[in-house]
């Protein structure tokens, strides 16, 4: 008899949601996490008396009864975390050369704001939101399809908008609604949340990200760690076993049972497996190759990862609110042509200046959340960074990559802080603590393919049927969750975990 009903590999948002879904259904679950701490990108880290949150800066759809709140409620943790609402009048400030877009809560309110910013473009803005509504409706309808061909055909007939936009880049939609380059920039501005410029981005992803945040923006009181802790508490309450420092190295199937081996040679057996590791890793490296169909192997081997990032985690004695820093995220763009902005990031040398970056202060968003000591603040600055620049140190563990690596990331980090001084004057003179992370940090801490922030790239050919779904592994009893399935972001990953957990529960039921 198998040791467990299910083994879940990886404790990111997707893995913890899948485990909790199964545990709440009464199945025995073992959650295996490679790293010392659970949570993947939700795992915070502490330096002196500062706490930083690498992979969660804001979330949408969290008002009571909104979609994300309902997902958390389904897992029994809707009430376990308090979400602090960010300024509904402007939680994202996109700063272009001579225009600032302040994103506000509410589709109608935001449309009014766009029309007031671009009065000559009223018709284009309306056209954009007509497409927006149809795409949202189609995405909702697509959730019941599960890849069945006949259902797919009737779906496409009912939702021709998907025929039009599911395989083309977001730039196509932008070109169809307006030729105003400033409005195009405004409509493409949130692309940092999925890491691809409009010329390469999926229309579906771009619209879903807009829809997520137009319902308002929230920050978990206590940071990403508070959400992680709520999951861990829920899992323990429902009897799931959690093991850290347990990197899975192989998944095999013998006599109808899965055999999952971890680095220490220990093996566990289970009737079902859910993997929250990137599907490229799960299907390309962990599962016995004999079990993987050739077309799945090909798909996994062709997947392009998302972009990497350079992050600066800062503790400062600056009184941020007194110099105008609010709970709004600040996103800098050096040009209205966001496609060009992405090209300005050099692949093989450090940039002189950063054409785009994101600044946020968790301690301003959540003042009593324990982020910084009294009188101090935390700031997190993020920008794009190529894996190529750092790849020669890729096989060395964190903290052991030597002086050349350290010097490179410090040089880039210092330039990033200098760039951020446009918005936080004097920052470089008020650094109480600084730590930098590169694409290698993502690769090391969450096993991200080539250090990508968001799983596989969110381009049209890698979304929907082009991506992976909870069941596309093509192996009975093996399911997938996490950013490599529905898409990146905490909410889609939680949804993917619930979906995969539900599928595994149906599979396990006699």
Ligand X SMILES: Cc1cc2nc3c(=O)[nH]c(=O)nc-3n(C[C@H](O)[C@H](O)[C@H](O)COP(=O)(O)OP(=O)(O)OC[C@H]3O[C@@H](n4cnc5c(N)ncnc54)[C@H](O)[C@@H]3O)c2cc1C
Q: What is the C-alpha to C-alpha distance for residues 459 and 468, in angstroms, rounded to an integer? A: 13
- Best CA proximity match to 103, nearest among 195, 202, 192: 192
CA distance 510 to 503: 13
Nearer to ligand X, 12 or 198 (CB): 12
Radius of gyration of the chain (CA): 22
Which of 142/306 has CB closer to ligand X?
A: 306
Q: Please spell the DSSP secondary structure of 442-489, one letter per residue.
A: HHHHH--GGG-SSSB---GGGSGGGS--TTTT-STTEEE-STTSS-SS
- Beta-bridged to residue 96, according to DSSP, are 99
- Least separation in angstroms between CB 255 and ligand X: 23
Query: Residue 360 in contact with residue 391, Cβ under 8 Å?
Result: no
Whose Cβ is closer to ligand X: residue 336's or residue 436's? 436
Q: Which residues of 205-226 are buried (b: 16+ CB within 10 A; e: fewer)?
A: bbbbbbbbbbbbbbbbbbbbbb
C-alpha distances in Å from residue 126, one per residue of 25, 108, 203: 45, 11, 17
Interface with ligand X (CB under 6 A): 9-15, 32-35, 40-42, 54-59, 247-248, 276-277, 281, 309, 311, 382, 446-447, 453-455, 482-483, 488-491, 493
Nearer to ligand X, 13 or 338 (CB): 13
Nearer to ligand X, 177 or 483 (CB): 483
Minimum gap (Å) between residue 85 Cβ and ligand X: 15
CA-nearest of 60, 73, 110 to 89 is 110
- Nearest CB to ligand X, comparing residues 125 and 416: 416
CB nearer ligand X, residue 174 or residue 310: 310
Residue 54's Cβ-side half-sphere holds a number of Cα atoms within 13 Å equal to 25
- Output the smallest distance, CB 53 to ligand X, in A: 9
Smallest distance, ligand X to C-beta of residue 248, A: 4
How many other C-beta atoms lie within 10 A of the C-beta of residue 20?
30
* Terminal CA-CA length for the chain: 15
Nearer to ligand X, 192 or 477 (CB): 192
As given in the structure block, the two tokens for residue 116 are 């007031």
Please, which residue, 68 or 118, has the CB nearer to ligand X?
68
Distance CA 350, CA 415 (A): 9
Residue (185 or 242) nearer to ligand X, CB? 242
Q: Which residue is nearest to ligand X (CB)?
A: 12
- Taking the complex as a whole, the smallest distance from the CB of residue 125 to ligand X amounts, in Å, to 26
Rounded to the nearest whole angstrom, what is the least distance from the CB of residue 468 to ligand X in the complex?
11
Q: Least Å distance between CB 411 and ligand X?
A: 20
| Residue 59 DSSP one-character state | E
Which residue's CB is nearer to ligand X, number 16 or number 508? 16
- Considering the complex, what minimum distance in angstroms separates the CB of residue 157 from ligand X? 33
Nearest to 31 by CA among 170, 174, 238: 238
* Minimum distance from residue 124 beta carbon to ligand X (Å): 28
Element (H, E) at 241: strand 241-243
Least Å distance, CB 280 to ligand X, is 11
Q: Is the dihedral of CA 91, 326, 438, 495 positive or negative?
A: negative
By the 10 Å C-beta count (0-12 exposed, 13-18 middle, 19+ buried), 415 is classed as: middle
Q: Tell me how far, at minimum, the Cβ of 320 lies from ligand X, in Å.
A: 19
């Amino acid at each position: 008899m198998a040791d467990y009903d299910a083994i879940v590999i990886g404790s990111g948002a997707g893995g913890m949601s899948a485990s909790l879904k199964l545990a709440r259904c009464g199945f025995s679950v073992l959650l295996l996490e490679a790293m010392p701490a659970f949570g993947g990108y939700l795992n915070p880290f502490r330096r002196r008396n500062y706490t930083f949150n690498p992979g969660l800066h804001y979330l949408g759809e969290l008002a009571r009864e909104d979609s994300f709140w309902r997902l958390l409620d389904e897992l029994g943790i809707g009430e376990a975390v308090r979400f602090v609402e960010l300024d509904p009048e402007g939680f994202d400030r996109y700063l272009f050369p001579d225009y600032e877009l302040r994103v506000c809560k509410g589709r109608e309110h935001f449309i009014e704001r766009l029309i007031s910013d671009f009065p000559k473009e009223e018709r284009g803005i309306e056209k954009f939101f007509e497409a927006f509504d149809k795409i949202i409706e189609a995405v909702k309808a697509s959730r019941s399809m599960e890849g069945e061909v006949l259902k797919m055909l009737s779906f496409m007939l009912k939702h021709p908008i998907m025929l039009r936009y599911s395989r083309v880049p977001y730039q196509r939609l932008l070109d169809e609604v307006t030729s105003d380059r400033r409005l195009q920039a405004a409509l493409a501005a949130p692309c940092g949340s999925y890491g691809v410029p409009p010329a390469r981005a999926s229309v579906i992803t771009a619209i879903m990200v807009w829809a997520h945040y137009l319902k308002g923006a929230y920050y978990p009181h206590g940071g990403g760690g508070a959400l992680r802790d709520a999951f861990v508490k829920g899992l323990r309450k429902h009897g799931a076993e959690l093991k850290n420092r347990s990197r899975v190295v192989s998944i095999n199937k013998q006599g109808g049972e899965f055999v999952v081996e971890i680095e220490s040679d220990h093996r566990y057996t289970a009737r079902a497996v859910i993997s929250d590791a990137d599907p490229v890793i799960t299907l390309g490296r962990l599962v016995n190759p004999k079990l993987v169909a050739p077309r799945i192997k090909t798909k996994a081997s062709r997947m392009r990862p998302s972009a990497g990032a350079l992050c600066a985690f800062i503790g400062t004695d600056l009184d941020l609110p007194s110099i105008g820093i609010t709970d709004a995220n600040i996103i800098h763009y050096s040009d209205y042509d966001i496609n060009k902005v992405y090209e300005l990031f050099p692949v093989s040398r450090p940039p002189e200046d950063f054409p785009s970056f994101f600044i946020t202060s968790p301690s301003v968003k959540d003042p009593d959340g324990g982020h910084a000591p009294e009188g101090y603040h935390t700031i997190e600055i993020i920008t794009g960074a190529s894996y190529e620049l750092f790849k020669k140190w890729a096989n060395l563990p964190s903290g052991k990559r030597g002086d050349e690596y350290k010097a490179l990331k410090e040089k880039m980090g210092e330039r990033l802080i200098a760039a951020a001084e446009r918005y936080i004057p004097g920052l470089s003179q008020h650094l109480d603590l600084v730590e930098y992370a590169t694409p290698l940090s993502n690769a090391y801490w969450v096993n991200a393919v080539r250090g990508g922030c968001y799983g596989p790239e969110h381009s049209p050919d890698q979304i929907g049927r082009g991506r992976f779904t909870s069941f596309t592994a093509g192996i009975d009893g093996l399911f997938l969750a996490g950013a490599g399935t529905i898409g990146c972001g905490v909410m889609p990953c939680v949804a993917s975990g619930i979906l995969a957990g539900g599928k595994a529960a149906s599979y396990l039921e006699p």
